[in-house]
């Protein structure tokens, strides 16, 4: 797909009840796509999609991976195809590794990693049968390097890069394309919803997010990147250059990050 025009394309977006996912839904719809919105909070989805007659909502908890086959069947039946799956639902972390309960690490992995994997496995045979499709995966700068307070979150996002890079290679011949999106600071509720050392919501809007890019701008950059068939999209402010530091001067980055809170 190398056109700016998504007219008639069916796009399923998880985490569409707020932040980047909501902005993605608005952007894709503005470019002619039929959108299916998923997240746990049905009321928020209803409010967003209520403005549009042609949008559908499908409330779901991506961490409930046993439900993935039924969820994919239901979603597929809404329009009879899915051209783009945008795995955007995610939860972050605000706690040191030593203080983080294993249960919280598992919860983060279930939502951020196993959720997208379970849905993708169900989608692949259907996408192949329709002649192809695209999987968009919203990871993070934390999918490229780790930082204090983000051990489990960074693990879940690194896992996405490994899994979906491999999937891209496997599914190329089947017409399935993979785009990995690595945002830096985006002005959303991600820090408020992040898990603290008690597994509860952190509750604070951190400095990074407060000063971050508007989700609408982020969504536009993502959709532009998808239209250009990009395999990776790096989006954010100056913080995104840390990815280049990790590649070309990893020791310097490591020294810079020692003990440093990246809030």
Ligand X SMILES: NC(=O)c1ccc[n+]([C@@H]2O[C@H](COP(=O)([O-])OP(=O)(O)OC[C@H]3O[C@@H](n4cnc5c(N)ncnc54)[C@H](OP(=O)(O)O)[C@@H]3O)[C@@H](O)[C@H]2O)c1
Catalytic residue positions, numbered: 153
Q: Name the β-bridge partners of 56.
A: 36
Q: Kindly report the backbone phi and psi dihedral angles of residue 199, in degrees, each rounded to the nearest multiple of 5, phi listed first.
A: 80, 10
Give residue 72's Cα distance to chain centre. Answer: 17
The least distance separating ligand X from the CB of residue 230, rounded to whole angstroms, comes to 17
Residue 15 near ligand X by CB under 6 A: yes
Geometric angle at alpha carbon 26, from 22 and 27, rounded to 5°: 115
Per residue, the 3-state secondary structure of 135-194, as one string, reads: EEEECCHHHCCCCECCHHHHHHHHHHHHHHHHHHHHHHHHCEEEEEEEECCECCCHHHHC
Q: Which residues of 48-79 are buried (b: 16+ CB within 10 A; e: fewer)?
A: bbeeeeebbbbbbebbebeebeebbeebbeeb
Residue 39 near ligand X by CB under 6 A: yes
> What are the angstrom distances between the C-alpha of 107 and each of 58, 93, 151?
21, 11, 13
Going residue by residue from 70 to 109, which x/- string records binding to ligand X, judged by CB under 6 A? ------------------xxxxx-----------------
> What are the angstrom distances between the C-alpha of 193 and each of 19, 140, 199?
11, 16, 10
Residue 26 contacts residue 5 (beta carbons within 8 Å): no
Residue 230 near ligand X by CB under 6 A: no
Residue 21 near ligand X by CB under 6 A: yes
Binding-site size, ligand X (CB under 6 A): 32
Going residue by residue from 117 to 156, which x/- string records binding to ligand X, judged by CB under 6 A? ---------------------x-x----------------
The least distance separating ligand X from the CB of residue 70, rounded to whole angstroms, comes to 15
Residue 116 near ligand X by CB under 6 A: no
Residue 175 contacts residue 131 (beta carbons within 8 Å): yes
* Binding-site member from 13, 14, 133, 152 for ligand X (CB under 6 A): 14
Residue 63 near ligand X by CB under 6 A: yes
Residue 204 near ligand X by CB under 6 A: no
Residue range at the interface with ligand X (CB under 6 A); choices 61-69, 119-127, 163-171, 246-254: 61-69
Site for ligand X, residues 157 to 186, rule: CB under 6 A: 183, 185-186
Of 130 and 148, nearer to ligand X (C-beta) is: 148
The least distance separating ligand X from the CB of residue 122, rounded to whole angstroms, comes to 16
Which stretches of the chain bind ligand X, using CB under 6 A?
A: 14-15, 17-21, 39-41, 44, 60-63, 88-92, 111, 138, 140, 183, 185-186, 188-190, 193, 209, 212
């Amino acid at each position: 797909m190398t056109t700016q025009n998504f007219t008639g394309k069916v796009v399923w977006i998880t985490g569409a009840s707020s932040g980047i996912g909501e902005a993605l839904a608005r952007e894709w719809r503005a470019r002619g796509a039929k959108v299916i919105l998923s997240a746990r909070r049905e009321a928020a989805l209803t409010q967003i999609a209520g403005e549009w007659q042609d949008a559908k909502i499908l409330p779901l908890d991506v961490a409930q991976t046993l439900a993935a086959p039924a969820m994919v069947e239901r979603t597929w039946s809404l329009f009879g195809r899915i051209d783009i799956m945008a795995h955007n639902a995610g939860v972050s972390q605000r706690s040191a590794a030593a203080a983080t309960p294993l249960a919280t690490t598992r919860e983060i992995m279930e939502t951020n990693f196993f959720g997208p994997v379970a849905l993708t496995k169900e989608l692949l045979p259907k996408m192949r049968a329709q002649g192809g499709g695209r999987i968009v995966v919203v990871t993070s700068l934390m999918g490229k390097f780790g930082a204090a307070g983000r051990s489990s979150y960074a693990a879940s996002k690194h896992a996405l890069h490994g899994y979906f890079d491999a999937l891209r290679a496997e599914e190329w011949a089947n017409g399935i394309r993979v785009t990995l999106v690595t945002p830096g600071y985006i002005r959303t509720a991600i820090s408020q919803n992040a898990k603290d050392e008690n597994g509860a919501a952190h509750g604070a809007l951190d400095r990074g997010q407060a000063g971050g890019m508007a989700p609408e701008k982020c969504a536009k950059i993502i959709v532009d990147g998808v239209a250009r068939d990009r395999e990776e999209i790096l989006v954010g402010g100056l913080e995104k250059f840390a990815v280049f530091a990790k590649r070309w001067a990893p020791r310097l980055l490591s020294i810079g990050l020692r003990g440093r809170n990246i809030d």
